[in-house]
Amino acid sequence: MDELGIWIHICVDMQRLFHEDTPWHVPWMRRALPQVAAVADFRPERTIFTRFLPPDSAEQAVGAWKDYYRKWWMMTGEHLPRERLHLVAELAAMVPPARVFDKRIYSPWLTGGLHAVLSSEGVSTIAVTGGETDVCVLATVTGAIDLGYRVIVLRDAVCSGDDESYDAALELFERRFSTQLQLMSSDEFLARAARQVD
């Protein structure tokens, strides 16, 4: 599987919401950011940034998400400064030509909009970066696999708030999805992408 085919880079939820001092702060994000930025900057027109957007209030959420946001009431729109939803500055500067896809849940796939866009562009391979490895990255990866994409997870460009969960997620990817997913470093991906002629 040396050829990447038509690829897209999906960067998951690299937002101020998780990068700054909030109850959802992911300390690892700072460590992963240089690698994420390098991949996005290589071909920004091939990058899609997803953003996780909480509802304005818990009562606007559906089902069990209501309980979730009752617990995390301080992260709803009525309490959280709007600018915290923005991408971190280094990545926001790449839009456009990079694109942004907003979502209300962990997965970016359930509405069908993202898949429709990628299908129309002939995308066959998705390189995944961002956070968190064991939550939104996991949902992005498994949804992409279900839809038939070849998935490449860039291990040094994904992050988590918990070391053990990060390790467990990467082990899950490697052991259970080995025919549909590859783990590689961001440098290895960039080298392969640079060798490929469009």
Q: What is the pTM of this model?
A: 0.95
Assign 162 a pLDDT band (cuts: 50, 70, 90).
confident
Residue 25: predicted pLDDT? 95
State the average pLDDT over residues 14-38: 96
Question: Phi/psi at 169 (nearest 5 deg)?
Answer: -65, -45
Q: How many angstroms separate the CA atoms of 48 and 100, rounded?
A: 6
Structural domains in the chain, CATH included, are 7-54+85-195 (3.40.50.850)
Strand arrangement of the beta sheet that strand 99-103 belongs to: 99-103, 47-52, 7-12, 125-131, 150-159, 181-184
State the average pLDDT over residues 42-56: 97
Region class of 148: left (phi > 0), else alpha (psi between -120 and 50), else beta: left
3-class secondary structure per residue, 94-121: CCCCCEEEEECCCCCCCCCHHHHHHHHC
Residue 127: predicted pLDDT? 98
DSSP 90: H
State the average pLDDT over residues 3-14: 95
Question: Phi/psi at 195 (nearest 5 deg)?
Answer: -75, -20
Assign 1 a pLDDT band (cuts: 50, 70, 90).
very low
Mean pLDDT score of the chain, rounded to an integer? Answer: 95
State the average pLDDT over residues 40-66: 97
Residue 197: predicted pLDDT? 62
DSSP H or E stretch at residue 181: strand 181-184
99: β partners: 48
pLDDT at 163 over 90: no
pLDDT at 198 over 90: no
The pLDDT tens digits for 116-156 are: 999 999 999 999 999 999 999 999 999 999 999 999 999 99
First CA to last CA distance, the chain: 17
Assign 2 a pLDDT band (cuts: 50, 70, 90).
low
pLDDT at 97 over 70: yes
3-state secondary structure of 76: coil
Q: How many angstroms separate the CA atoms of 73 and 89, rounded?
A: 26
Query: Residues with Cβ < 8 Å from 121, sequence gap 6 or more?
Result: 6, 8
